[in-house]
C-alpha cells in the first residue's frame, strides 16, 4: 500500500531518532546519560497527584470529557492568567483545554493554512511548526534567530510579498532551543506586525515560568489589543513536572479559539476529566515556593554546565529562561559530527542544533532536566574528552 504523498518528505521526528540512538548505545552496554530531551526529572507535586487519585475514583469523571475542556479547568486557566499576567481571559470563549500544547500548535495550522499559504517559522525552532505546515500544504518561510539579535526574529527582513501571503507566525519565548528571551516591547512589535499584514501570531509559551536572574517572562496577551491577532499556547508540562500527563491550554481571541475547537472536536474527544481537575490543582494551589525551588535547581544546573563548557573553550552568556543550553560546537566540527562523537566516546546524548533548522548548524543543545549527579558526571566526561 502506497503511503500518502504528504508524508514522504517528513523527516523522522527528532526525539524519536534520539531515543533510537540512545537505546542502541544502551544495548552495547554504554552507561548513557541523556541530555537530549527536555523532560523534567523531578516528580509532579504531591498535591497534584493526590487530586488526580481523588478525581480518578469518581465515576462521574469516567465518561467522555468536555470537548473544549472542563469549565472549571478553563476558569483555572483564566485565574492563572489574571494572577500571573494581569490579563483577563473569558473562560467561556477565550480558553480551550489541550492534550498537551503540542497538539494545539499542530491543530492551529490545520485550522488556518491552505495550499500555498506561508507560515513564518523561527529557525532554529520547534520542529512541529514547520512539519505540520508542510503536511497542511503550506509553505515555510524561515525567520533566522541569530545570537547577535538576541535570538529574536527581525521582522524587517521578511519580504513584503511573503508577509502579504502569510497566515501564521510562530513565536516561542523563553525559546526552545536557543533559550533566548523576549520583553514586552518585542511582543508589542509582533502584534503590530501581525495586525499590519493580517497574520495570526501563535505564541508557544511552554517555558514562561522557567526563568532566572530576576527575569519575568511576559505573555503576548499583556499587549493591548493582542487578542485581535494572537493566541497563546500554555503547558503544565514544564512548570509542574507534568510532561506525561498531557495537559495544556490555549487562550486568545474568540475567533481563534473557535477555529482551533473545530479541528479538535472533530479529531479528539478531550483530555480525561480527572487530569483536568488535577491541572486545576497545579494552576491554582501550587505554592510559590515550589516554583522558586524548581527554578533555583535549574539555575544551579545552568551554572554548572556553563562553567564546564567554559573549561573546554565554549563560552556563552547565562540564559535567562527555559532549561536549555544552546552552545557552539568546538571549532572544526559540524553539529551532527560533534554530537555523534560525544555519544560514541562518552555515552552522553546531546541534541544537534541542525535538527532545529539551517540556522542551528554549528550549535548543540543541552537539556538541564537530568539529576544533578548525572549532569555532573556528563560534564566530567565532556571535559575529559576535550
Q: What is the pLDDT of residue 5?
A: 85
| Mean pLDDT computed over 156-169 | 98
Residue 19: pLDDT above 80? no
Sign of the Cα pseudo-torsion (194, 151, 204, 215, in order): negative
* pLDDT, tens digit (0-9, with 9 covering 90-100), for 258-308: 999 999 999 999 999 999 999 999 999 999 999 999 999 999 999 999 999
Measure Cα distances from 96 to 100, 166, 351 in Å: 11, 25, 32
Q: For residues 100 and 27, give the distance between their C-alpha atoms in angstroms, rounded to a whole number.
A: 31
Backbone φ and ψ of 284, nearest 5°: -105, -25
Q: What is the pLDDT of residue 23?
A: 85
Banded pLDDT at 216 (limits 50, 70, 90): very high
* Domain 46-285 sits in CATH 3.40.640.10: yes
| Mean pLDDT computed over 300-328 | 97
Q: What is the pLDDT of residue 9?
A: 75
Q: Is the peptide bond before 177 cis (omega within 30 degrees of 0)?
A: yes
Domain definitions of the chain by residue range: 5-43+289-385, 46-285
* pLDDT, tens digit (0-9, with 9 covering 90-100), for 231-248: 999 999 999 999 999 999
Taking each helix axis as running N to C, give the angle between helix 372-385 and helix 288-311, from 0 to 180 degrees, rounded to the nearest 10. Answer: 10
Question: According to CATH, what is the number of the domain 5-43+289-385?
Answer: 3.90.1150.10
Q: What is the pLDDT of residue 22?
A: 80
Least confident of 20-34, 50-64, 183-197, 218-232: 20-34
CB 314 within 8 A of CB 328: yes
Residue 14: pLDDT above 70? no
CB 120 within 8 A of CB 96: no
Residue written as grid cell 535547581: 297
Strand, helix or coil for residue 272:
coil
Residue 315: pLDDT above 70? yes
Q: What is the pLDDT of residue 25?
A: 82
Strand spans (E) along 205-311: 230-235, 248-252
Residue 43: pLDDT above 90? yes
| Mean pLDDT computed over 310-319 | 96
Banded pLDDT at 131 (limits 50, 70, 90): very high
Q: What is the pLDDT of residue 2?
A: 87
* Pick from 368, 383, 384: nearest CA to 34: 368
Mean pLDDT computed over every residue of the chain? 96
Instruction: Give me the numbers of helices (H) and strands (E) for the chain, helices first please.
Output: 12, 12
| Mean pLDDT computed over 212-227 | 98
Stated pTM of the model = 0.96
Q: Which cell is 190 given?
A: 509582533
Q: Is the peptide bond before 124 cis (omega within 30 degrees of 0)?
A: yes
Q: Which cell is 10 given?
A: 517528513
Give me the count of residues in the chain.
386
Strand, helix or coil for residue 309:
helix
Q: What is the pLDDT of residue 13?
A: 66
Banded pLDDT at 24 (limits 50, 70, 90): confident
Measure Cα distances from 338 to 11, 54, 99, 351 in Å: 21, 48, 35, 10
% the chain with pLDDT above 90: 91
% the chain with pLDDT above 70: 98
Q: What is the pLDDT of residue 15?
A: 65
Amino acid at each position: 500500500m502506497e503511503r500518502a504523498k504528504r508524508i514522504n518528505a517528513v523527516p523522522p521526528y527528532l526525539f524519536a531518532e534520539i531515543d533510537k540512538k540512545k537505546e542502541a548505545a544502551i544495548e552495547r552496554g554504554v552507561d548513557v546519560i541523556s541530555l537530549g530531551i527536555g523532560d523534567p526529572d523531578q516528580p509532579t507535586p504531591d498535591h497534584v497527584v493526590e487530586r488526580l487519585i481523588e478525581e480518578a475514583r469518581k465515576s462521574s469523571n469516567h465518561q467522555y470529557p468536555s470537548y473544549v475542556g472542563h469549565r472549571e479547568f478553563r476558569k483555572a486557566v483564566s485565574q492563572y492568567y489574571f494572577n500571573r499576567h494581569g490579563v483577563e481571559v473569558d473562560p467561556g470563549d477565550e480558553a480551550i483545554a489541550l492534550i498537551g500544547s503540542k497538539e494545539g500548535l499542530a491543530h492551529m495550522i490545520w485550522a488556518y493554512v491552505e495550499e500555498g499559504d506561508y507560515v513564518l517559522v523561527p529557525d532554529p525552532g520547534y520542529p512541529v511548526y514547520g512539519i505540520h505546515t508542510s503536511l497542511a500544504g503550506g509553505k515555510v518561510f524561515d525567520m533566522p534567530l541569530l545570537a547577535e539579535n538576541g535570538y529574536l526574529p527581525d521582522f524587517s527582513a521578511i519580504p513584503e510579498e511573503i508577509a502579504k501571503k502569510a497566515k501564521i507566525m510562530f513565536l516561542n519565548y523563553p525559546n526552545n532551543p536557543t533559550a533566548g528571551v523576549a520583553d514586552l516591547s518585542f511582543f508589542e512589535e509582533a502584534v503590530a506586525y501581525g495586525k499590519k499584514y493580517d497574520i495570526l501570531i501563535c505564541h508557544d509559551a511552554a517555558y514562561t515560568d522557567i526563568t532566572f536572574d530576576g527575569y519575568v517572562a511576559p505573555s503576548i496577551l499583556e499587549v493591548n489589543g493582542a487578542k485581535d491577532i494572537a493566541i497563546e499556547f500554555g503547558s503544565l508540562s514544564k512548570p509542574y513536572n507534568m510532561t506525561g500527563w498531557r495537559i495544556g491550554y490555549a487562550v486568545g481571541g474568540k475567533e481563534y479559539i473557535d477555529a482551533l475547537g473545530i479541528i479538535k472536536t472533530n479529531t479528539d474527544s478531550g483530555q480525561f476529566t480527572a487530569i483536568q481537575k488535577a491541572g486545576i490543582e497545579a494552576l491554582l494551589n501550587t505554592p510559590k515556593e515550589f516554583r522558586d525551588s524548581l527554578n533555583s535547581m535549574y539555575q544551579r544546573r545552568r551554572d554548572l554546565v556553563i562553567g564546564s563548557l567554559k573549561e573546554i573553550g565554549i563560552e556563552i552568556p547565562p540564559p535567562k529562561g527555559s532549561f536549555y543550553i544552546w552552545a557552539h560546537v568546538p571549532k572544526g566540527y559540524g553539529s551532527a559530527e560533534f554530537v555523534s562523537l560525544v555519544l560514541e566516546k562518552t555515552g552522553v546524548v546531546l541534541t544537534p542544533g541542525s535538527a532545529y533548522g539551517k540556522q542551528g548548524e554549528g550549535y548543540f543543545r543541552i537539556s538541564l532536566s537530568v539529576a544533578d549527579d548525572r549532569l555532573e558526571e556528563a560534564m566530567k566526561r565532556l571535559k575529559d574528552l576535550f
